[in-house]
Amino acid sequence: MIVDETPVVRRMIEYAAKACDLPVDRLIQAADNFEAIQILDAQRVHLVVADASTPRINGVELLRAMRTPGSGAPPLALITDQAQDTSQAAMAASPMPLFYLRRPYTLDQVGKIFSEVFSTVQQD
């Protein structure tokens, strides 16, 4: 699932995922982390790439919601700003793999995150 309030950013991340030839058959999009939580409650998702600073709910709150017991949370890649406090100490205790993609980023960096996530998932 790709989470960002900007449709162009969601399309760019989708393009990067497809360009990496990853085993992705369907990409779900959400306009913010609140919508992402609703989608996660309704269906199984294998990876979440989310903007840490979307309206309504930020990345830390998304991570907390994903950490609920029995949630079977997928890996999370958070897109952050260089100066943004990502509360790394709070996120370090995450039971699911957690990755960071700092702005500004390139398509190659997005592809590298996807590759890292999928190699981590395949090892489990």
Mean pLDDT of 50-75: 78
pLDDT of res. 5: 92
Closest-CA residue to 86 (of 120, 63, 112): 63
Name the more confident of 113 and 24: 113
Q: How many domains does the chain have?
A: 1
Name the more confident of 120 and 107: 107
pLDDT of res. 16: 83
pLDDT of res. 86: 52
pLDDT of res. 107: 83
1-56 pLDDT per residue, tens: 899 999 998 998 888 888 877 767 788 999 999 999 999 889 888 888 888 888 88
Specify the 3-state DSSP secondary structure of 121.
Answer: helix
Mean pLDDT of the chain: 78
pLDDT of res. 103: 80
Provide the CATH number for the domain around residue 34.
Answer: 3.40.50.2300
Name the more confident of 102 and 22: 102
CA angle (47, 10, 70) in 5-degree steps: 25
**What's the CA gap between 103 and 105, in Å, rounded?**
5
* Domain that residue 28 falls in: 2-123
Question: Which distant-in-sequence residues (6+ apart) come within 8 Å of 16 by Cβ?
Answer: 107, 110, 111, 114
